[in-house]
Structure 1
Amino acid sequence: MTTAQPTAGSLARARQRESLGRFWQQYRTHRAGVFGLAGLVLIAVIALAAPLLVGSDVQSVTKAPGSPLEAPSGEFPLGTDQFGRSLLGLLVWGARISLTVGLLAAALSVAIGTLVGIIAGHFGGWFATVLMRITDWFLVMPTLVLAIVLATVLDHSIWTVILAIGVTSWPTTARLVRAQTIAVESRPYIERARALGGGHGHVMTRHVLPNVVPLVLTQTTLGISDAILTEATLAFLGLGDPTLISWGGMLQDAREAGAVSSGHWWYLAPPGIAIALVALAFTLCGRAVEAVLNPKLGVGR
């Protein structure tokens, strides 16, 4: 009886599973990264289960169950807002928007930066010089200022916020990916690939891209926390979607209700703490991923 020979696809999948296994074994040795990942999983589960946990009526102003600005109590553990809505329910529901904006904006930013960096590093010459000067211009301009300008000019929606953050925060990724691309293309196997007839597309997608993926993954993880903070800032400035509940929008509502001057701390503290904890969790995960993929950095555990 003859045994079936493994196909190229099955071998590739086996290598991927082995690589993922090695990655997880190294990742779980970083206690801070594990704590950050556990926190993110918990927050993501709560956000996905928000309709079951608090219901969609928690956003309704006309169906508010409490009185305006009630202090924390047994019925309302985090108190109520100026409309009498439960702040705990709003906090749970707002996690959906804040995480969605953070993930999509960071993905858009990293995608633009990766594309610009690989093209500039691969082709070089005057074309790369022009791309890098454009990158430098975005790099020296304050990201928040550019995002505010875009969010002001365009319609106030969640997609505008994602676009504003994504198209203004890519330069750092572009510079890092360009440097990595130049380093990869100086290796001998790239010359062999070109000698065998590999074109620009083949070299960039088959050889350069797989080698910059670890860097891209790290930048994505670290960029999510920045995107969440930027979204909170835009919402706090009144540039977010007023029809959606987000943590930054809750801070804006608290400011408009005079929570600072009137001493209603329970209106300000929950969304602010939630933003800080999620940003910290993503940062811990990003540092752990960076330490696993690039041990030479010597990031502490």
Structure 2
Amino acid sequence: MTGEAVPPAAEAGSRVLARQRRLSAARFWARYRTHRAGLVGLAVLVLFILVALTAPLTVGSGVAGVTGAPGRPLEHPSAAFPLGTDRFGRDLLGLVVWGSRVSLLVGLLAAVLSVAIGALVGITTGHFRGPYGTVMMRITDWFLVMPTLVLAIALATVMSRSLGTVVVAIGVTSWPTTARLVRAQTLAVESRPYIERARALGGGHGHIMLRHVLPNVMPLVLAQTTLMISSSILAEATLAFLGMGDPTVVSWGGLLQDAREAGAISSGDWWYLVPPGIAIAAVALAFTLCGRAVESVLNPRLGVAR
């Protein structure tokens, strides 16, 4: 009934659970701090996230804010335009800052979609080892041997050119590695004695997968998500560079594609290529460093170098 007093034992149990969660978070951060490379990657990520979040304040609302005071096409870096201008006379610094929002968002969403599909396939194939598991693993093997970029390009070609298409194209073609890893972890978890006790006590498939398997594979899923974000950002930049992205938005890969079309490589307009290229490389490296550190903290037996 509404308004009933909470039993003292339940209230104490809630306090204990909350305390254990705080201690777990504190232990995780204490171990993470020992990884110097992970701290460097985290600092770089925080910087780029702050730049992306404050873009409307620093460069205006959308591309219109960047093109409010255009300069001459392909102008060298100067006090007015620290990174120069593109072939349309737009401020490249503003374009790089605003493009960070699109690249980071697409990378995050594509990584989440990819890891979600991989975790679902990995847990279910590790639990159901009959015909379903066999068929799904053969499909996973097919995706593994096929070039991910080729599949993403083919999918992006037949769908409308939008950010959603890029997210789907990356997410549905890059999940097999996660599925393999999660399946192996699921098999290891289900071989433990308490799983047999849960089955003997009447635990169904859903109970075992959600209450026992999923919590044990979540650390692996978390680490894999962090690693997948860097791959997704690179994949988004590649698709945009090949002209498969949304032409109405600004992204780092789209800036590289514009530079290629403008002939920046042959004409020596290095300021058109270097800023978005460095941004892509820096964010991808930062996510990789964070992912390796998280992986090492959650599974110290991996022995990842600090």
Q: TM-score, normalised by structure 1?
A: 0.97
Which deviates the most, 203-212 or 13-22?
13-22
Structure 1 residue 91: Cα displacement: 0.3
Deviations 1:199-251 (A, max 9, x none): 10000000000000011011100000000000000000000000000000000
1:178 aligns with 2:163: no
2: distance between equivalents of 1:176 and 1:117?
7
Structure 1 residue 60: Cα displacement: 6.3
1: distance between equivalents of 2:277 and 2:143?
29
Q: Please give the root-mean-square deviation of Cα atoms over the aligned residues, in Å.
A: 1.4
Structure 1 counterpart of 2:101, one-letter code: R
Aligned to 1:19: 24
Retained in 1: the 8 A contact 2:62–2:98?
no
1: distance between equivalents of 2:149 and 2:38?
28
Aligned to 2:55: 50
Structure 1 residue 259: Cα displacement: 0.6
Retained in 1: the 8 A contact 2:243–2:254?
yes
Instruction: Rate the CA distance shift 1:110–1:66 in 2: closer, same or farther, 3 A.
Output: same
1: distance between equivalents of 2:62 and 2:16?
51
1:294 aligns with 2:279: no
1:252 aligns with 2:261: no
Retained in 2: the 8 A contact 1:57–1:63?
no
2: distance between equivalents of 1:159 and 1:178?
28
Structure 1 residue 59: Cα displacement: 4.3
Q: 1:167 aligns with which of 172, 192, 205?
A: 172
Map 1:130-279 to 2 at 5 A. 130-279=135-284
Q: 1:30 aligns with which of 10, 29, 35?
A: 35
Report SS of the residue matched to 1:238.
coil
2: distance between equivalents of 1:179 and 1:271?
38
Retained in 2: the 8 A contact 1:58–1:86?
no
1:65 aligns with 2:70: yes
Deviations 1:87-145 (A, max 9, x none): 00000000000000000000000000000000000010121000000000001000000
Retained in 2: the 8 A contact 1:59–1:90?
no
Aligned to 2:46: 41
Instruction: Rate the CA distance shift 1:211–1:129 in 2: closer, same or farther, 3 A.
Output: same
Residue ranges of structure 2 left out of the alignment (5+ in a row): 1-6
Aligned to 2:81: 76
1: distance between equivalents of 2:64 and 2:271?
18
Instruction: Rate the CA distance shift 1:122–1:68 in 2: closer, same or farther, 3 A.
Output: same
Structure 1 residue 56: Cα displacement: 2.1
1: distance between equivalents of 2:103 and 2:279?
10
Structure 1 residue 62: Cα displacement: 6.3
Structure 2 counterpart of 1:153, one-letter code: V
Structure 2 counterpart of 1:216, one-letter code: V
Instruction: Rate the CA distance shift 1:70–1:177 in 2: closer, same or farther, 3 A.
Output: same
Structure 1 residue 8: Cα displacement: 3.7
Aligned to 1:109: 114
Retained in 2: the 8 A contact 1:58–1:85?
no
Instruction: Rate the CA distance shift 1:135–1:57 in 2: closer, same or farther, 3 A.
Output: closer
Structure 1 counterpart of 2:41, one-letter code: G
1: distance between equivalents of 2:62 and 2:49?
20
Instruction: Rate the CA distance shift 1:131–1:247 in 2: closer, same or farther, 3 A.
Output: same
Residue ranges of structure 1 left out of the alignment (5+ in a row): none
Identity level (%): 74
**Which stretches of structure 1, 4 residues or more, deviate above 3 A after TM superposition?**
3-10, 57-64
Aligned to 2:92: 87
Retained in 2: the 8 A contact 1:118–1:204?
yes
Structure 1 residue 196: Cα displacement: 1.2
Structure 1 residue 17: Cα displacement: 1.4
Structure 1 residue 11: Cα displacement: 2.8
Retained in 2: the 8 A contact 1:36–1:280?
yes
How many residues are aligned here?
A: 299
Deviations 1:227-278 (A, max 9, x none): 0000000000000000000000000011111111111000000000000000
